Protein backbone atom coordinates (compact mmCIF):
# COMPACT_ATOMS: atom_id res chain seq x y z
CA UNK A 1 0.00 0.00 0.00
CA UNK A 2 1.40 3.35 -0.96
CA UNK A 3 0.40 6.46 0.89
CA UNK A 4 0.37 9.90 -0.63
CA UNK A 5 3.05 12.03 0.92
CA UNK A 6 2.75 15.77 1.04
CA UNK A 7 4.63 17.10 -1.91
CA UNK A 8 6.51 20.27 -1.29
CA UNK A 9 9.75 21.94 -2.26
CA UNK A 10 11.75 19.83 0.10
CA UNK A 11 14.97 19.75 1.99
CA UNK A 12 16.19 17.62 -0.91
CA UNK A 13 16.12 20.67 -3.17
CA UNK A 14 18.23 22.59 -0.70
CA UNK A 15 20.68 19.72 -0.60
CA UNK A 16 21.11 20.11 -4.34
CA UNK A 17 21.76 23.78 -4.15
CA UNK A 18 24.36 23.36 -1.43
CA UNK A 19 26.04 20.14 -2.54
CA UNK A 20 25.41 19.68 -6.22
CA UNK A 21 23.86 16.70 -7.89
CA UNK A 22 26.36 14.08 -6.72
CA UNK A 23 25.22 14.33 -3.15
CA UNK A 24 23.14 11.42 -1.85
CA UNK A 25 20.24 12.09 0.45
CA UNK A 26 21.07 9.04 2.55
CA UNK A 27 24.54 10.50 3.05
CA UNK A 28 22.92 13.56 4.56
CA UNK A 29 20.93 11.61 7.14
CA UNK A 30 24.00 9.51 7.90
CA UNK A 31 26.08 12.60 8.43
CA UNK A 32 23.49 14.29 10.61
CA UNK A 33 23.14 11.17 12.75
CA UNK A 34 26.92 10.84 13.05
CA UNK A 35 27.24 14.49 13.96
CA UNK A 36 24.53 14.19 16.56
CA UNK A 37 26.38 11.29 18.18
CA UNK A 38 29.75 12.99 17.97
CA UNK A 39 28.54 16.27 19.37
CA UNK A 40 27.68 14.58 22.65
CA UNK A 41 31.37 13.88 23.28
CA UNK A 42 33.34 16.35 21.31
CA UNK A 43 33.21 19.92 20.13
CA UNK A 44 33.87 20.83 17.42
CA UNK A 45 32.74 17.43 16.00
CA UNK A 46 35.21 15.48 13.85
CA UNK A 47 34.94 15.77 10.08
CA UNK A 48 32.79 13.08 8.46
CA UNK A 49 33.62 11.70 5.05
CA UNK A 50 30.73 12.08 2.62
CA UNK A 51 30.83 9.45 -0.09
CA UNK A 52 30.57 10.93 -3.58
CA UNK A 53 30.06 8.95 -6.75
CA UNK A 54 33.12 9.31 -8.97
CA UNK A 55 32.25 11.41 -12.01
CA UNK A 56 34.48 11.68 -15.06
CA UNK A 57 35.86 15.03 -16.18
CA UNK A 58 33.97 15.21 -19.47
CA UNK A 59 30.68 15.49 -17.60
CA UNK A 60 31.57 18.81 -15.99
CA UNK A 61 29.58 20.97 -18.47
CA UNK A 62 26.45 18.85 -17.88
CA UNK A 63 26.47 19.09 -14.10
CA UNK A 64 24.64 22.38 -13.95
CA UNK A 65 21.88 21.59 -16.48
CA UNK A 66 21.42 18.17 -14.83
CA UNK A 67 20.99 19.80 -11.44
CA UNK A 68 18.45 22.23 -12.89
CA UNK A 69 16.45 19.45 -14.60
CA UNK A 70 16.35 17.42 -11.39
CA UNK A 71 15.57 20.43 -9.22
CA UNK A 72 12.79 21.62 -11.52
CA UNK A 73 11.22 18.18 -11.69
CA UNK A 74 11.23 17.29 -8.01
CA UNK A 75 10.08 20.76 -6.95
CA UNK A 76 6.57 20.17 -8.29
CA UNK A 77 3.94 17.51 -8.77
CA UNK A 78 3.25 18.57 -12.39
CA UNK A 79 3.81 15.10 -13.84
CA UNK A 80 1.54 13.41 -11.31
CA UNK A 81 -1.19 16.01 -11.84
CA UNK A 82 -1.04 15.51 -15.59
CA UNK A 83 -1.24 11.72 -15.18
CA UNK A 84 -4.18 12.09 -12.78
CA UNK A 85 -5.97 14.33 -15.29
CA UNK A 86 -5.40 11.80 -18.07
CA UNK A 87 -6.84 8.89 -16.08
CA UNK A 88 -9.65 10.82 -14.40
CA UNK A 89 -10.86 12.42 -17.63
CA UNK A 90 -10.47 9.74 -20.29
CA UNK A 91 -10.43 6.55 -18.22
CA UNK A 92 -9.16 3.38 -19.84
CA UNK A 93 -7.81 3.63 -23.41
CA UNK A 94 -8.16 0.37 -25.29
CA UNK A 95 -7.25 0.48 -29.00
CA UNK A 96 -10.16 1.66 -31.13
CA UNK A 97 -12.08 3.13 -28.21
CA UNK A 98 -13.40 6.70 -28.29
CA UNK A 99 -11.57 7.23 -24.98
CA UNK A 100 -8.19 6.63 -26.61
CA UNK A 101 -9.08 8.91 -29.53
CA UNK A 102 -10.09 11.72 -27.16
CA UNK A 103 -6.94 11.26 -25.08
CA UNK A 104 -4.80 11.43 -28.23
CA UNK A 105 -6.42 14.74 -29.24
CA UNK A 106 -5.85 16.09 -25.74
CA UNK A 107 -2.18 15.04 -25.74
CA UNK A 108 -1.60 16.82 -29.06
CA UNK A 109 -3.16 20.04 -27.74
CA UNK A 110 -1.22 19.85 -24.47
CA UNK A 111 2.11 19.19 -26.18
CA UNK A 112 1.53 22.26 -28.33
CA UNK A 113 0.66 24.26 -25.24
CA UNK A 114 3.95 23.14 -23.65
CA UNK A 115 5.74 24.63 -26.65
CA UNK A 116 6.92 21.32 -28.09
CA UNK A 117 7.74 21.41 -31.81
CA UNK A 118 6.58 19.37 -34.79
CA UNK A 119 3.64 18.02 -32.74
CA UNK A 120 1.56 15.69 -34.87
CA UNK A 121 -0.11 12.29 -35.08
CA UNK A 122 0.92 9.42 -37.38
CA UNK A 123 -2.01 7.22 -38.47
CA UNK A 124 -2.16 3.55 -37.46
CA UNK A 125 -4.95 1.03 -38.16
CA UNK A 126 -5.61 -0.95 -34.99
CA UNK A 127 -7.64 -4.02 -34.01
CA UNK A 128 -10.77 -3.06 -32.10
CA UNK A 129 -11.67 -5.71 -29.54
CA UNK A 130 -14.62 -5.09 -27.23
CA UNK A 131 -15.36 -6.99 -24.03
CA UNK A 132 -19.12 -6.53 -23.78
CA UNK A 133 -20.95 -8.04 -20.82
CA UNK A 134 -19.41 -11.10 -19.23
CA UNK A 135 -19.83 -13.33 -16.21
CA UNK A 136 -18.67 -16.56 -14.65
CA UNK A 137 -20.71 -18.49 -12.13
CA UNK A 138 -20.64 -21.72 -10.24
CA UNK A 139 -23.79 -23.59 -11.29
CA UNK A 140 -23.34 -26.48 -8.92
CA UNK A 141 -23.17 -27.64 -6.25
CA UNK A 142 -24.67 -24.24 -5.18
CA UNK A 143 -25.10 -21.35 -7.68
CA UNK A 144 -22.90 -18.30 -7.03
CA UNK A 145 -20.99 -15.72 -9.05
CA UNK A 146 -17.18 -15.55 -9.36
CA UNK A 147 -14.94 -12.57 -10.12
CA UNK A 148 -13.57 -12.73 -13.67
CA UNK A 149 -12.26 -10.76 -16.65
CA UNK A 150 -12.34 -12.04 -20.20
CA UNK A 151 -8.89 -12.30 -21.80
CA UNK A 152 -8.09 -9.75 -24.49
CA UNK A 153 -8.71 -10.89 -28.08
CA UNK A 154 -10.85 -13.82 -26.82
CA UNK A 155 -13.90 -14.93 -28.76
CA UNK A 156 -17.22 -14.74 -26.93
CA UNK A 157 -19.62 -17.51 -25.98
CA UNK A 158 -23.05 -18.11 -27.51
CA UNK A 159 -25.54 -15.61 -26.01
CA UNK A 160 -26.77 -18.18 -23.46
CA UNK A 161 -23.20 -18.91 -22.33
CA UNK A 162 -21.48 -22.28 -22.05
CA UNK A 163 -22.02 -24.64 -19.17
CA UNK A 164 -19.50 -27.39 -18.41
CA UNK A 165 -17.73 -29.26 -15.63
CA UNK A 166 -14.36 -28.00 -14.46
CA UNK A 167 -10.94 -29.66 -14.75
CA UNK A 168 -7.97 -27.95 -13.05
CA UNK A 169 -4.29 -28.34 -13.97
CA UNK A 170 -1.16 -26.77 -12.52
CA UNK A 171 1.08 -27.06 -15.56
CA UNK A 172 1.12 -28.01 -19.24
CA UNK A 173 2.44 -31.42 -18.16
CA UNK A 174 -0.66 -31.94 -16.00
CA UNK A 175 -2.78 -30.87 -18.97
CA UNK A 176 -1.12 -33.56 -21.09
CA UNK A 177 -1.76 -36.13 -18.34
CA UNK A 178 -5.42 -35.06 -18.11
CA UNK A 179 -6.02 -35.05 -21.88
CA UNK A 180 -8.63 -37.84 -21.71
CA UNK A 181 -10.68 -35.89 -19.13
CA UNK A 182 -10.55 -32.48 -20.82
CA UNK A 183 -12.96 -32.99 -23.72
CA UNK A 184 -16.18 -31.01 -23.25
CA UNK A 185 -14.86 -29.40 -20.05
CA UNK A 186 -13.75 -25.96 -18.94
CA UNK A 187 -10.03 -26.11 -18.05
CA UNK A 188 -8.56 -24.00 -15.25
CA UNK A 189 -4.81 -23.31 -15.40
CA UNK A 190 -4.17 -22.92 -11.67
CA UNK A 191 -0.52 -21.85 -11.86
CA UNK A 192 0.92 -19.74 -9.02
CA UNK A 193 2.62 -16.52 -10.15
CA UNK A 194 6.41 -16.65 -10.12
CA UNK A 195 7.69 -14.18 -12.71
CA UNK A 196 5.70 -12.60 -15.50
CA UNK A 197 7.79 -14.26 -18.19
CA UNK A 198 7.35 -17.66 -16.57
CA UNK A 199 3.62 -17.46 -15.80
CA UNK A 200 2.23 -15.43 -18.71
CA UNK A 201 2.54 -18.34 -21.15
CA UNK A 202 -0.46 -20.02 -19.51
CA UNK A 203 -2.54 -16.94 -20.36
CA UNK A 204 -1.07 -16.59 -23.85
CA UNK A 205 -1.03 -20.24 -24.97
CA UNK A 206 -3.19 -22.07 -22.42
CA UNK A 207 -6.56 -21.63 -24.17
CA UNK A 208 -5.34 -23.17 -27.46
CA UNK A 209 -3.47 -25.96 -25.64
CA UNK A 210 -6.70 -26.87 -23.82
CA UNK A 211 -8.76 -26.53 -27.02
CA UNK A 212 -6.45 -29.04 -28.72
CA UNK A 213 -7.77 -31.69 -26.27
CA UNK A 214 -11.40 -30.68 -26.78
CA UNK A 215 -11.93 -28.17 -23.95
CA UNK A 216 -14.87 -25.79 -24.52
CA UNK A 217 -13.58 -22.92 -22.36
CA UNK A 218 -10.41 -21.90 -20.50
CA UNK A 219 -9.78 -20.11 -17.23
CA UNK A 220 -6.38 -18.79 -16.19
CA UNK A 221 -5.38 -17.95 -12.63
CA UNK A 222 -4.44 -14.24 -12.42
CA UNK A 223 -0.96 -13.56 -13.81
CA UNK A 224 0.26 -11.44 -10.89
CA UNK A 225 1.04 -11.73 -7.17
CA UNK A 226 -1.93 -12.35 -4.87
CA UNK A 227 -3.92 -9.16 -4.52
CA UNK A 228 -7.35 -8.58 -3.04
CA UNK A 229 -9.36 -10.91 -5.28
CA UNK A 230 -8.11 -8.93 -8.28
CA UNK A 231 -8.45 -10.35 -11.81
CA UNK A 232 -5.67 -9.55 -14.34
CA UNK A 233 -6.62 -9.40 -18.02
CA UNK A 234 -4.18 -9.47 -20.96
CA UNK A 235 -3.98 -11.01 -24.41
CA UNK A 236 -4.23 -14.59 -25.42
CA UNK A 237 -2.86 -15.85 -28.74
CA UNK A 238 -4.87 -18.50 -30.58
CA UNK A 239 -2.84 -21.19 -32.32
CA UNK A 240 -3.63 -21.62 -36.03
CA UNK A 241 -5.61 -24.78 -36.67
CA UNK A 242 -7.02 -25.16 -33.13
CA UNK A 243 -10.64 -24.35 -32.22
CA UNK A 244 -10.97 -20.84 -30.73
CA UNK A 245 -12.53 -21.22 -27.30
CA UNK A 246 -13.58 -18.38 -24.97
CA UNK A 247 -11.10 -17.67 -22.18
CA UNK A 248 -11.09 -15.60 -19.00
CA UNK A 249 -8.96 -14.97 -15.94
CA UNK A 250 -10.06 -15.72 -12.38
CA UNK A 251 -8.51 -14.35 -9.20
CA UNK A 252 -5.85 -16.15 -7.16
CA UNK A 253 -8.39 -16.64 -4.37
CA UNK A 254 -11.08 -18.12 -6.60
CA UNK A 255 -8.60 -20.38 -8.40
CA UNK A 256 -7.40 -21.74 -5.05
CA UNK A 257 -10.97 -22.27 -3.92
CA UNK A 258 -12.01 -24.11 -7.08
CA UNK A 259 -8.91 -26.29 -6.72
CA UNK A 260 -9.84 -27.14 -3.11
CA UNK A 261 -13.35 -28.11 -4.17
CA UNK A 262 -12.04 -30.43 -6.88
CA UNK A 263 -9.44 -31.90 -4.52
CA UNK A 264 -12.25 -32.83 -2.11
CA UNK A 265 -13.90 -34.71 -4.94
CA UNK A 266 -16.67 -32.17 -5.47
CA UNK A 267 -17.85 -31.93 -9.08
CA UNK A 268 -17.81 -28.23 -9.99
CA UNK A 269 -20.05 -27.08 -12.81
CA UNK A 270 -19.47 -23.61 -14.25
CA UNK A 271 -21.27 -21.26 -16.62
CA UNK A 272 -19.21 -18.79 -18.65
CA UNK A 273 -20.92 -16.00 -20.59
CA UNK A 274 -18.93 -13.52 -22.72
CA UNK A 275 -20.00 -11.04 -25.41
CA UNK A 276 -16.36 -10.44 -26.44
CA UNK A 277 -15.82 -9.81 -30.16
CA UNK A 278 -13.77 -7.88 -32.70
CA UNK A 279 -15.25 -4.89 -34.50
CA UNK A 280 -13.69 -3.80 -37.82
CA UNK A 281 -10.16 -2.36 -37.53
CA UNK A 282 -10.25 1.25 -36.35
CA UNK A 283 -8.28 4.42 -37.05
CA UNK A 284 -5.79 5.32 -34.32
CA UNK A 285 -2.45 7.12 -34.19
CA UNK A 286 0.97 7.45 -32.61
CA UNK A 287 1.51 10.90 -31.05
CA UNK A 288 4.81 12.69 -31.70
CA UNK A 289 6.34 15.88 -30.23
CA UNK A 290 9.89 17.20 -30.42
CA UNK A 291 12.51 19.64 -29.34
CA UNK A 292 14.45 20.13 -32.56
CA UNK A 293 18.22 19.84 -32.24
CA UNK A 294 20.15 23.10 -32.57
CA UNK A 295 23.11 21.63 -34.50
CA UNK A 296 22.20 18.15 -35.72
CA UNK A 297 18.39 18.13 -35.94
CA UNK A 298 18.44 14.99 -38.14
CA UNK A 299 19.97 12.91 -35.36
CA UNK A 300 17.15 11.82 -33.07
CA UNK A 301 16.83 10.49 -29.54
CA UNK A 302 13.40 8.87 -29.14
CA UNK A 303 11.76 8.40 -25.73
CA UNK A 304 8.21 7.37 -24.93
CA UNK A 305 5.63 4.83 -23.81
CA UNK A 306 2.40 3.34 -25.10
CA UNK A 307 -0.76 5.41 -24.80
CA UNK A 308 -3.28 2.60 -25.14
CA UNK A 309 -4.23 0.56 -22.07
CA UNK A 310 -6.49 -2.31 -21.11
CA UNK A 311 -10.16 -1.47 -20.76
CA UNK A 312 -10.21 -1.82 -16.97
CA UNK A 313 -8.65 0.66 -14.54
CA UNK A 314 -7.29 3.88 -16.04
CA UNK A 315 -3.98 2.64 -17.44
CA UNK A 316 -2.07 4.96 -15.10
CA UNK A 317 0.83 2.59 -14.46
CA UNK A 318 0.55 0.69 -17.76
CA UNK A 319 1.44 2.91 -19.42
CA UNK A 320 0.09 6.41 -18.84
CA UNK A 321 2.93 7.01 -16.39
CA UNK A 322 5.59 6.09 -18.96
CA UNK A 323 4.05 8.47 -21.47
CA UNK A 324 3.74 11.35 -19.01
CA UNK A 325 7.25 10.89 -17.53
CA UNK A 326 8.93 10.92 -20.95
CA UNK A 327 6.76 13.83 -22.12
CA UNK A 328 7.72 15.65 -18.91
CA UNK A 329 11.41 15.29 -19.84
CA UNK A 330 10.79 17.44 -22.94
CA UNK A 331 8.62 19.91 -21.05
CA UNK A 332 11.39 20.38 -18.48
CA UNK A 333 14.02 21.01 -21.18
CA UNK A 334 11.69 23.48 -22.89
CA UNK A 335 10.91 25.28 -19.66
CA UNK A 336 14.61 25.57 -18.75
CA UNK A 337 15.53 26.70 -22.30
CA UNK A 338 17.76 23.68 -22.80
CA UNK A 339 17.87 22.98 -26.54
CA UNK A 340 20.34 20.16 -27.08
CA UNK A 341 22.55 19.60 -30.12
CA UNK A 342 20.34 16.75 -31.41
CA UNK A 343 16.57 16.36 -31.66
CA UNK A 344 14.71 14.85 -28.72
CA UNK A 345 11.43 13.22 -29.75
CA UNK A 346 8.68 11.87 -27.50
CA UNK A 347 6.40 9.21 -28.99
CA UNK A 348 3.19 7.76 -27.55
CA UNK A 349 2.69 4.46 -29.36
CA UNK A 350 -0.79 3.04 -29.88
CA UNK A 351 -1.99 -0.58 -29.59
CA UNK A 352 0.85 -2.08 -27.56
CA UNK A 353 -1.53 -4.16 -25.47
CA UNK A 354 -3.43 -6.17 -28.05
CA UNK A 355 -1.62 -5.86 -31.35
CA UNK A 356 1.66 -3.93 -31.22
CA UNK A 357 0.77 -2.10 -34.39
CA UNK A 358 1.96 1.32 -33.17
CA UNK A 359 5.55 0.12 -32.80
CA UNK A 360 5.44 -1.58 -36.21
CA UNK A 361 3.95 1.51 -37.87
CA UNK A 362 6.64 3.73 -36.34
CA UNK A 363 9.36 1.51 -37.78
CA UNK A 364 7.77 1.53 -41.25
CA UNK A 365 6.91 5.23 -41.32
CA UNK A 366 10.41 6.24 -40.16
CA UNK A 367 12.34 3.59 -42.08
CA UNK A 368 14.55 6.05 -43.95
CA UNK A 369 15.59 7.93 -40.79
CA UNK A 370 16.17 4.94 -38.49
CA UNK A 371 19.90 5.08 -39.21
CA UNK A 372 19.82 8.54 -37.61
CA UNK A 373 18.16 7.25 -34.44
CA UNK A 374 20.90 7.67 -31.84
CA UNK A 375 19.04 5.94 -29.01
CA UNK A 376 15.50 4.80 -28.20
CA UNK A 377 14.14 4.61 -24.65
CA UNK A 378 10.84 3.10 -23.54
CA UNK A 379 9.29 3.47 -20.10
CA UNK A 380 6.76 0.65 -19.66
CA UNK A 381 7.57 -0.85 -16.28
CA UNK A 382 5.77 1.70 -14.10
CA UNK A 383 6.94 5.02 -12.72
CA UNK A 384 7.72 3.88 -9.20
CA UNK A 385 10.95 4.82 -7.39
CA UNK A 386 13.50 4.94 -10.24
CA UNK A 387 16.63 2.83 -9.89
CA UNK A 388 18.21 3.71 -13.22
CA UNK A 389 18.05 2.27 -16.71
CA UNK A 390 18.52 -0.96 -18.57
CA UNK A 391 20.81 -0.56 -21.59
CA UNK A 392 21.32 -2.68 -24.70
CA UNK A 393 24.03 -1.62 -27.13
CA UNK A 394 27.77 -1.61 -27.56
CA UNK A 395 30.23 -1.88 -24.66
CA UNK A 396 31.45 1.63 -25.48
CA UNK A 397 27.87 2.88 -25.27
CA UNK A 398 27.42 1.15 -21.94
CA UNK A 399 30.50 2.86 -20.49
CA UNK A 400 29.17 6.25 -21.62
CA UNK A 401 25.69 5.65 -20.26
CA UNK A 402 27.16 4.48 -16.93
CA UNK A 403 29.15 7.68 -16.71
CA UNK A 404 26.14 9.84 -17.52
CA UNK A 405 24.17 8.00 -14.83
CA UNK A 406 26.56 9.32 -12.17
CA UNK A 407 24.69 12.61 -12.60
CA UNK A 408 21.67 10.80 -11.13
CA UNK A 409 23.37 9.61 -7.94
CA UNK A 410 21.61 12.30 -5.91
CA UNK A 411 18.23 10.73 -6.63
CA UNK A 412 19.56 7.15 -6.41
CA UNK A 413 18.74 6.51 -10.07
CA UNK A 414 22.29 5.79 -11.22
CA UNK A 415 22.18 2.00 -11.79
CA UNK A 416 22.60 0.67 -15.32
CA UNK A 417 21.14 -2.79 -15.85
CA UNK A 418 22.23 -5.43 -18.39
CA UNK A 419 19.47 -4.93 -20.99
CA UNK A 420 17.06 -2.26 -22.17
CA UNK A 421 14.28 -2.05 -24.70
CA UNK A 422 10.51 -2.29 -24.98
CA UNK A 423 7.68 -3.76 -27.02
CA UNK A 424 7.12 -0.54 -28.99
CA UNK A 425 10.71 0.41 -29.74
CA UNK A 426 11.61 -3.23 -30.41
CA UNK A 427 10.78 -3.31 -34.15
CA UNK A 428 12.85 -0.16 -34.88
CA UNK A 429 15.69 -1.15 -32.55
CA UNK A 430 16.02 -4.55 -34.22
CA UNK A 431 15.78 -3.25 -37.76
CA UNK A 432 18.48 -0.59 -37.40
CA UNK A 433 20.49 -1.95 -34.45
CA UNK A 434 19.75 1.13 -32.34
CA UNK A 435 21.01 1.42 -28.72
CA UNK A 436 17.97 0.82 -26.50
CA UNK A 437 17.12 1.78 -22.95
CA UNK A 438 14.31 1.23 -20.46
CA UNK A 439 13.53 3.02 -17.22
CA UNK A 440 14.01 0.63 -14.28
CA UNK A 441 12.08 1.15 -11.07
CA UNK A 442 11.42 -0.45 -7.67
CA UNK A 443 7.72 -1.06 -7.30
CA UNK A 444 5.05 -3.72 -7.22
CA UNK A 445 4.17 -3.31 -10.90
CA UNK A 446 2.63 -6.74 -11.45
CA UNK A 447 0.30 -6.41 -8.47
CA UNK A 448 -1.84 -3.91 -10.41
CA UNK A 449 -0.82 -4.79 -13.99
CA UNK A 450 -3.87 -5.14 -16.30
CA UNK A 451 -6.33 -4.85 -13.40
CA UNK A 452 -9.14 -2.49 -12.42
CA UNK A 453 -6.73 -1.33 -9.68
CA UNK A 454 -4.35 0.33 -12.17
CA UNK A 455 -5.23 3.86 -11.08
CA UNK A 456 -3.12 6.93 -10.34
CA UNK A 457 -3.36 6.65 -6.54
CA UNK A 458 -0.83 3.77 -6.67
CA UNK A 459 1.81 6.20 -7.95
CA UNK A 460 3.72 8.51 -5.64
CA UNK A 461 4.14 12.07 -6.99
CA UNK A 462 7.79 12.08 -5.90
CA UNK A 463 8.47 8.82 -7.72
CA UNK A 464 7.11 10.00 -11.06
CA UNK A 465 8.92 13.33 -10.60
CA UNK A 466 12.20 11.47 -10.02
CA UNK A 467 11.49 9.18 -12.96
CA UNK A 468 10.95 12.18 -15.21
CA UNK A 469 14.12 13.80 -13.87
CA UNK A 470 16.18 10.69 -14.53
CA UNK A 471 14.86 10.38 -18.08
CA UNK A 472 15.38 14.10 -18.71
CA UNK A 473 19.03 14.08 -17.60
CA UNK A 474 19.95 10.88 -19.45
CA UNK A 475 18.22 12.05 -22.62
CA UNK A 476 19.59 15.59 -22.49
CA UNK A 477 23.22 14.53 -22.11
CA UNK A 478 23.00 11.94 -24.91
CA UNK A 479 21.40 14.57 -27.15
CA UNK A 480 23.92 17.24 -26.20
CA UNK A 481 27.31 15.52 -25.97
CA UNK A 482 29.59 16.23 -28.95
CA UNK A 483 30.12 12.60 -30.05
CA UNK A 484 27.23 10.35 -30.99
CA UNK A 485 26.39 7.52 -28.57
CA UNK A 486 27.60 4.34 -30.19
ZN1 LIG B 1 2.56 -1.67 -20.98
pLDDT at residue 81, rounded to an integer? 98
Q: Which residue in 352, 353, 440, 462 is the catalytic one?
A: 352
Measured in Å, residue 424 CA sits from the centre of ligand 1 at 9
pTM: 0.88
Q: Is 35 a catalytic residue?
A: no
Tens-digit pLDDT profile for residues 266-285:
999 999 999 999 999 999 99
pLDDT at residue 62, rounded to an integer? 97
Measured in Å, residue 440 CA sits from the centre of ligand 1 at 13
Tens-digit pLDDT profile for residues 351-361:
999 999 999 99
Q: Is residue 77 a contact partner of residue 461, using CB atoms and an 8 Å limit? A: yes
Classified by CATH at the fold level, domain 132-275 comes out as Glucose Oxidase; domain 1 (3.50.30)
pLDDT at residue 55, rounded to an integer? 73
Task: Assign domain 57-126+280-480 to its CATH architecture.
Answer: 3-Layer(aba) Sandwich (3.40)
Measured in Å, residue 108 CA sits from the centre of ligand 1 at 21
pLDDT at residue 7, rounded to an integer? 38
- Sorted by where each begins, the domain ranges of the chain are 57-126+280-480, 132-275
Positions of the chain with pLDDT lower than 70, given as ranges: 1-54
Measured in Å, residue 352 CA sits from the centre of ligand 1 at 7
pLDDT at residue 14, rounded to an integer? 37
Amino acid sequence: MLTRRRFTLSALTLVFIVNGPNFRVKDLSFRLAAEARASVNQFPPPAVDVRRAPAPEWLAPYREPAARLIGESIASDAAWQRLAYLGDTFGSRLSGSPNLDAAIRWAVDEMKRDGLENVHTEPVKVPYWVRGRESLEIVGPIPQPLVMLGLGNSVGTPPAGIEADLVAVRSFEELEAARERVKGHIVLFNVPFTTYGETVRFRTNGPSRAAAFGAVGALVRAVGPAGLRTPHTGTLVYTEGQPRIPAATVTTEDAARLQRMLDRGTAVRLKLTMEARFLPDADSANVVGEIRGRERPDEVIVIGGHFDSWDVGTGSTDDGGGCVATWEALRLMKKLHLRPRRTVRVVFWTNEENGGRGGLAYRDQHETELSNHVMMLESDGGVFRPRGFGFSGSEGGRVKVREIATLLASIDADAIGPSGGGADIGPSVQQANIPAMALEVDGNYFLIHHTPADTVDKIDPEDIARSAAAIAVMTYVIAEMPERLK
